[in-house]
Structure 1
């Protein structure tokens, strides 16, 4: 296995974990905003929420075009989180086996 392959494989799992937790933060933020617990007039809150949206929306938007919301719940979010969990739980270990 080359250095580049090993670097990609060993960085893939932590990056997918970080992305998973960013999506969880996006979900929590959206709920707190919807229930008016977080005030969007606070400049720091808006900056953090916009940063999280810039990361999550490019991934969610194409899926939102295909998967409609169900009873007000964003099913695209569920598809992405389940997909990330599947990639972390199944594909990354398979890559370890193939390239190691």
Structure 2
């Protein structure tokens, strides 16, 4: 019972973060200033995780690969955490 609750919490945190990353990627293409309030919330949720990755892998040719790296690592960590339950 408690393991189901923990698994649900892990999944909710993971999916909220994934949605925030996807919204950030979309807004970076359409212009974040049109949706400034949404941009601030999404940036505040994702920047603490993206900044360290960006220091290791800076944007190349105008493309920022850090969201994709973070998505891969987050999915991997989610899988490990759920398998430990």
Runs of 5+ consecutive residues of structure 2 not aligned to the other structure = none
Which whole-Å CA distance do the structure 1 matches of 2:30 and 2:13 have between them?
26
- 2:66 aligned with 1:72, yes or no? no
Alignment correspondent of 2:7: 9
2:47 to 46, 49, 57: 57
Runs of 4+ in 1 over 4 A off after TM superposition: none
- Taking structure 1 as the reference length, what is the TM-score of the superposition? 0.71
Paired residues, what number? 85
Q: What is the CA RMSD across the aligned residues, in angstroms?
A: 2.1
**TM-score when scaled to structure 2?**
0.82
**More helix by percentage:** 2
